[in-house]
Amino acid sequence: MSSEVQIAKQRLGIIGNSPLLNRVVEVAIQVASTDLSVLINGESGVGKENIAKIIHQYSARKHFPFVVVNCGAIPKGTVDSELFGHEKGSYTDAKSDRKGYFQEAEGGTIFLDEVGELPLDIQVKLLRVLEYGEYMRLGSSKVTHSNVRVVAATNVNMQKAIEDGRFREDLYYRLSTIPLFVPSLRERKEDVNLLFRKFALDFAEKYKRPPVRLSDEAQQLLREYYFSGNIRQLKNIAEQISVIEGAREISIDVLRNYLPEINHSSEIVLSKIQQEQFNTEREILYKVLFDMKKDMNDLKQLVNEIISKTNISVDSSILSKQQGDFSSYPMSADLPSTKLLESSSAHLPSTYSAPMDSSSVIQELEDYEEVKSPITLEEAEKEVIRKMLNRCGGRRKDAAKALNISERTLFRKIKQYGL
């Protein structure tokens, strides 16, 4: 890490020694001397504003204003006036002229946070400012020239916003002349405990109390925690512990009380998959029915392959059904498996040796042969619940969790089906 990067972090109070963080700071210092527009990407709470401040502080504009604008917090009807100003009488409540943020930042840097929230009509005016350095105040026909560097930030997927028609593609490329990506706290695990100690010291001074300290086990837990709110969330946790806890040594059990929904990456992925697959009770039933249908198709295909490999002579009407697309069969269709096997056995040569898995195939086909009546949703639901209860050893709580339904709903279904 260069001394310049270290000095920049100290000047702005940026804590951390992660290589990813150091790289972002280094690039910010490099582009500061230019007047190129910069788009800072990153999740909410990662400290994008600090990177914008580095760009301003290391530029030739550092003696001029640095104006921060939260685009998502401005009411849509007043965005034009807030950014570019208005003339007296331009609308009902416009009782005097008003400077916009661009005029306030003249000669300096304007930081447009949450730039993805800007309305499309304002995006057109912003593009004009970036390309030609000019705009018109609301209610005025006079062109105003602007000498302002634009640094923007966003936590949304800009490519997705462009595809959805919520953000102009030409403005995106004009803003992101130099794109920067600030890492999330999950990508800076080595900085987590360092940040916590810094926040603990700050709050100890603020509330006139000794700083809290984490045990080794608590430090490990904190380092592995999935911080969806990033540094902002970590700071909030440090403040809660500093104020609420009487003991200054924080154990892992105490820390757990301040870490809601502790999720590791594998659990998060599994949770998302379960949410997609088992969103409702009806979707569970559909999944079971479709899986059953797929198994039947696979078995048909397997029998067809056995026939073709052994040159078995089969009644043509049966074979035509066998070779057809079984997806067209209704769930209640009679399967020709028994007739097929009887017919095929009559034509087997005396020296024929069945494949090792033939008995299991025959057994599975005979099992499917028993399904001759249409399967209703209620019957399928009853069977799914019965099997899940058996799998969970009769524990309703575990079965309800596995089926992704409430225990109360499961209890009602058990009474309804007499399980």
Where are the chain's structural domains? Answer: 3-183, 186-256, 294-369, 377-417
- The two beta strands, 134-136 and 143-145, are antiparallel
* CA distance linking residue 381 with residue 383, whole number of Å: 5
Distances from the Cα of 356 to the Cα of 145, 225, 311, 332, 366, angstroms:
84, 50, 18, 30, 17
Instruction: State the pLDDT confidence band at 18, using cuts at 50, 70 and 90.
Output: very high
Note the Cα 150 to chain centre separation in Å.
28
Per-residue pLDDT tens over the stretch 211-235: 999 999 999 999 999 999 999 999 9
Look at residue 262 in the predicted model and tell me its pLDDT. Answer: 53
Least confident of 180-194, 244-258, 352-366: 352-366
Predicted structure pTM score: 0.62
Look at residue 2 in the predicted model and tell me its pLDDT. Answer: 78
SS3 of residue 304 by DSSP? helix
Would you mind telling me the total number of residues written for the chain in this entry?
Answer: 419
| Alpha-helical segments (H) within 116-229 | 120-132, 158-163, 169-175, 192-207, 216-224
Please say if the pLDDT value at position 369 is more than 50: no
**186-256 belongs to CATH 3.30.1330.20:** no
Instruction: State the pLDDT confidence band at 299, using cuts at 50, 70 and 90.
Output: confident
Look at residue 63 in the predicted model and tell me its pLDDT. Answer: 96
Please say if the pLDDT value at position 201 is more than 90: yes
* CA distance linking residue 234 with residue 84, whole number of Å: 36
At a CB cut-off of 8 Å and minimum separation 6, what does 74 contact?
82, 83
Query: What is the percent of the chain where pLDDT is above 70?
Result: 73
* CA distance linking residue 356 with residue 71, whole number of Å: 69
Look at residue 323 in the predicted model and tell me its pLDDT. Answer: 46
What mean pLDDT, rounded, does the chain reach? Answer: 80
Look at residue 333 in the predicted model and tell me its pLDDT. Answer: 40
Look at residue 332 in the predicted model and tell me its pLDDT. Answer: 40
Residue bearing the bigger pLDDT, 374 or 258: 258
Look at residue 238 in the predicted model and tell me its pLDDT. Answer: 96
* CA distance linking residue 281 with residue 111, whole number of Å: 48
Please say if the pLDDT value at position 35 is more than 70: yes
SS3 of residue 110 by DSSP? strand
Structure tokens at 88: 């007296």
The domain defined by 377-417 folds into Arc Repressor Mutant, subunit A (1.10.10)
Average pLDDT over residues 347-352: 41
Query: Given 3.40.50.300, 3.40.50.150, 2.160.10.10, 3.40.50.720, which CATH number is that of 3-183?
Result: 3.40.50.300
**Which of 33, 36, 118, 32 minimizes the C-alpha distance to 69?**
118
* CA distance linking residue 54 with residue 41, whole number of Å: 15
Amino acid identity of residue 378, one-letter, is: E
Please say if the pLDDT value at position 245 is more than 80: yes
Decide if 55 contacts 151 (C-beta within 8 A).
yes
Half-sphere exposure for 343 (CA within 13 Å, toward CB): 16
- The two beta strands, 178-181 and 134-136, are unpaired
Q: What are phi and psi of 86, to 5 degrees?
A: -150, 165
At a CB cut-off of 8 Å and minimum separation 6, what does 355 contact?
306
Structure tokens at 203: 């709050």
- The two beta strands, 109-113 and 149-154, are parallel
Look at residue 287 in the predicted model and tell me its pLDDT. Answer: 54
Instruction: State the pLDDT confidence band at 97, using cuts at 50, 70 and 90.
Output: confident
Decide if 130 contacts 37 (C-beta within 8 A).
yes
Of 169-183, 329-343, 375-389, give the range with the top mean pLDDT: 169-183
Torsion angle defined by CA atoms of residues 302, 307, 308 and 312, in that order, rounded to the nearest 10 degrees: 180
Average pLDDT over residues 357-364: 49
Average pLDDT over residues 281-297: 61
* CA distance linking residue 6 with residue 354, whole number of Å: 75
SS3 of residue 181 by DSSP? strand
Look at residue 334 in the predicted model and tell me its pLDDT. Answer: 42
DSSP one-letter code for 87: -
**Number of other CB atoms surrounding residue 146 within 10 Å:** 20
Please say if the pLDDT value at position 346 is more than 80: no
Q: Tell me which long-range contacts 222-228 makes (C-beta under 8 A, separation of at least 24).
A: 222/192, 222/193, 222/196, 222/255, 222/259, 223/189, 223/190, 223/192, 223/193, 224/189, 224/264, 225/192, 225/259, 225/262, 226/186, 226/262, 226/263, 226/264, 226/265, 226/268, 227/184, 227/185, 227/186, 227/192
For the chain, the distance separating the N- and C-terminal CA atoms, rounded to the nearest angstrom, is 67
* CA distance linking residue 5 with residue 14, whole number of Å: 10
Residue bearing the bigger pLDDT, 330 or 108: 108
Look at residue 380 in the predicted model and tell me its pLDDT. Answer: 75
Average pLDDT over residues 50-66: 96
